Amino acid sequence: MSSMGTLDLPRVQAPSAQPSWRHRLRDRGIDRLLWLVAPAFLFLVLLFIYPSVYGIVLSFQPMDHSGFLGNYVRFFFDPFLRGTIGHTFSIALPASIFNVVAAIPLALAMRRRKRSQRIVNVLLVTPITLGTVLVAEGLLNYLGPRGWVNRILMGIGLTDKPLPLLHNMWGVIISLIITGFPFAFLLILSYVSGINPAMDAAARTLGAGASQRFFRITLPLLSPGIANTFCLTFVLAFSVFPSATLLGNPSGDSHVLAVAAANAAFQQYDYPLASAISVITAVVELLMIAIVLGLRSRLYSGSTATGKG
Amino acid sequence: MSALAFTKLELAAVSRQFKGVTALADFSLTIRNGEFVALLGPSGCGKSTTLNCLAGLLPLTAGAIYLDDERVDLLPPERRGFGMVFQNYALFPHMSVRKNIAFGLQMQRVSRHEIVRKVDWALDLIHLTEHGDKRPNQLSGGQQQRVAIARAIVMEPKLVLMDEPLSNLDAKLRHEMRTELRRLHRELNLTTVYVTHDQEEALSLADRLVVLRNGRMQQAGAPEEVYARPANAFVADFMGYRNQLSMVAGPVEGDPTLTRLSGGGIELVANGTVRGQATVAIRPDGLTLGRTGVNDIPGVVRTVEYQGRDYEIEIEVNETTSLFARINQRVTAGDQVVVNVPRDHVMVYAAGADPEADESRRDPIHERETV
């Protein structure tokens, strides 16, 4: 295709300082192949950009005509609504930190064990395929007051009454770990596999013990991947909705932003307020991502391999 | 330099099996302090396995390694005190050149002042003083390789292990680095084990050459010795004996020290007492143009490759046999020529003495163990 294009060109005239416009376009990767992104672009405009812009505009048109920022003022002055930010953080932050921190050692252990890696992948991917609701149903039976866990705990005498594992923020956190950990693990594993194992061997021959190798070689090389993974799992956890309603206490400590938005939209039919809550959710997520990526850029962010090997 | 004070490193019947395949069998070698030993062989021959066993990155299946009288093969790599230079350099990409070189010293808890002094010394040694604060990825391949070498030798290791360190460099740089390595070895008296598949590199660098195939040692000796008198047809092939002919060896009447060879339409007389089926190896530069009365072979020039100083030509002797010769006269394809080979340039090996002779001369056999 590109060779056709160049063959069809007229013979080159006297050399000029400016390359021809076709060459300049091609140099920037603009050619007919670019049409292939058209369907995706259309999709993006219709299903993402338009609804987002619509929602943002709507959020500035409160139903009580209290002015441009009315919904936002209301959100931040209402302790029940304002508290959702704190609730969401206290669920999303521990869950995503746990997911990332627990994924690192497992990924490191799996990096050279291809066979067990496959088994672990299957074990971990299954909960993703089952969907949040099914997992939540399972957890209701498993962690409930009369579920296996509590019956075993009481049976061996560790507690005399059932532990309140559900219908509070712990239930939501457990569910977020079950669904979020596989993502974190698979992502971290791919970053770990990108580190040349010769780095570790080199550090060993230079006298570095296991913990020195981890903290001075592996962790710095892995840190960009850890930051990315944290951002993704955090965003997933921050917009938690189904498990917050099914496993949490949606009017108490798991009254998260998504629940508040849903209540506004479908109980009070206040779409502008729901939009405002969604915009606030997005802004908080973006702030968090900005902080994490800002920290990341202060760490090493280049290639994880040297040489031509 | 007390760390360097040892007399000999001994590999005693070292074996390494990998998923049922023998990567290294019964390998015994004693390396003297200050010696430069090259392990040479095609890929899969066990040379990298040997190096990784020495480094401690691969456990042995059998055998032992002794540093003087101390057994070291059960120590983890971080406690052996051997420096290693990796094929892909394995520099730490998130550290500057200085920090890369200082890493090993920091692990040894050398004082900060002393680290600065030693790193300066090492940077000066590899002529990269100005590049100390750069990241490895900002350096060229040759510079990265020098940093990798500096990182290993700044520790004053008892032994430096080098795994094909020049194989990623272009021809010119490779030659320069070879000279550099030789200089460093002479200046620092570093005991070095060097792995390569390049016989020219091995010949030019090493005090002693060890040729391996299929995990077995084929020959060990001074480069001149291995080059001039390869122990078997495999070593000969690896040393550049490009002409390998299958011939029948018989006695020469009146002289029991000679062998008469015939096969492939050629008759030759060689030194030696081999009788029966034989593999005959001749280096291209063992052949000269012209008739001498002994071992003259007539033929037609088929191809001529200009090599700068001389020509490598292919001579078709008959339909089945061609010979390669390195000559310094200009000939053209199609010329009728006579080449001759002096008796002592003809290497004769009894066929069958080497069970693996026919199987895979340049074998890509078992998967290479990478660490």
Which 3-state string (H, E, C) describes A287-307? HHHHHHHHHHHCCCCCCCCCC
- How far apart (Å, rounded) are the C-alpha atoms in residues A273 and A278? 9
Is residue A98 one of the residues assigned to a domain?
Answer: yes
CATH number of B2-228: 3.20.20.80, 3.40.1260.10, 3.40.50.300, 3.90.1150.10? 3.40.50.300
- Could you count the other beta carbons within 10 Å of the beta carbon of residue A175? 28
Instruction: Please indicate, yes or no, if residue A40 is contained in any of the structural domains.
Output: no
Hey, are the CB atoms on A201 and B81 less than 8 Å from each other? no
Q: What is the pLDDT of residues B145-170, one digit of tens each?
A: 999 999 999 998 999 999 999 988 88
Those residues with Cβ within 8 angstroms of residue B354's Cβ, 6 or more apart along the chain or in another chain: B232, B233, B234
Percentage of chain B modeled with pLDDT above 90: 68
pLDDT of residue A2: 43
The answer as to whether A278 is a domain residue is yes
B199 close to B40: Cβ distance less than 8 angstroms: yes
pLDDT, chain B, mean: 89
**Which member of B56, B104, B141 has the closest CB to residue A206?**
B104
Report the 10 Å Cβ neighbour count for B363. Answer: 14
- Nearest CA to CA, how far is A113 from chain B (Å)? 14
Choose among A201, A207, A305: nearest Cβ to B93: A305
The tens digit of pLDDT for each residue in B297-348 reads 999 999 999 988 899 999 999 988 999 999 998 999 999 999 999 998 999 9
CB contact under 8 A, A306 and B136: yes
**Strand blocks (E) in chain B:** 8-18, 21-32, 36-40, 62-67, 70-71, 82-85, 159-163, 192-196, 208-213, 216-221, 243-252, 255-263, 266-271, 276-282, 288-289, 296-306, 311-316, 322-327, 336-340, 347-350
Which pLDDT does position A4 carry in this prediction?
44
CB contact under 8 A, B56 and A204: yes
Instruction: Classify each residue of A94-105 as buried b or exposed e, where b means 16 or more C-beta atoms within 10 Å of its C-beta.
Output: bbbebbbeebbe
pLDDT for residue A11 = 56
Below-70 pLDDT ranges, chain A: 1-18, 300-309
Instruction: Copy the structure tokens of residue B93.
Output: 């990409």
> What's the number of domains chain A is made of?
1
Look up the CATH superfamily of B233-350. Answer: Nucleic acid-binding proteins (2.40.50.140)
Mutate to test the interface with B, among A223, A301, A306 (most CBs of B within 10 A): A306
Structural domain for A209, as ranges: 82-297
Is A53 within the bounds of a domain? no
Q: Looking at CA atoms only, how far is residue B199 from chain A in angstroms?
A: 21
Identify whether A172 is part of a domain. yes
Q: Where are the domains of chain B?
A: 2-228, 233-350
Is A181 among the domain residues? yes
Q: Which residue type sits at A62? A: P
Q: How far apart are CA B192 and CA B38, in angstroms?
A: 8
> Among positive and negative, which fits the CA dihedral A7, A10, A11, A13?
negative
Q: What is the band of B239 on the pLDDT scale with cuts at 50, 70, 90?
A: very high
**Residues whose CB falls within 8 Å of the CB of residue B275, separated by 6 or more in sequence, listed in order:** B249, B250, B251, B259, B350
Beta strands at B82-85 and B70-71: parallel, antiparallel or unpaired: unpaired
Query: Taking a C-beta distance cutoff of 8 angstroms, is the pair B28, B13 a contact?
Result: yes
Is the pLDDT at B359 greater than 50? The verdict is no
A12 within a domain of the structure (yes/no):
no
Chain A's closest residue to B159, CA to CA, is A205
Residue A18: its pLDDT value, please?
Answer: 67
Instruction: Evaluate whether residue A72 is within a structural domain.
Output: no
Question: Residue B251: pLDDT above 50?
Answer: yes
Confidence at residue A10, expressed as pLDDT on a 0 to 100 scale: 54
Q: Residue B357: its pLDDT value, please? A: 45
Residue B228: band (very low, low, confident or very high) from pLDDT cuts 50, 70, 90: very high
Percent of chain A topping pLDDT 90: 52
Candidates B78, B86, B225, B263; CA nearest to B167 is B86
Same fold, B2-228 and B233-350: no
- A114: domain CATH number is 1.10.3720.10
> For A57-94, how does the pLDDT look when each residue is reduced to its tens digit (9 = 90+)?
999 999 888 888 999 999 999 999 999 999 999 999 99
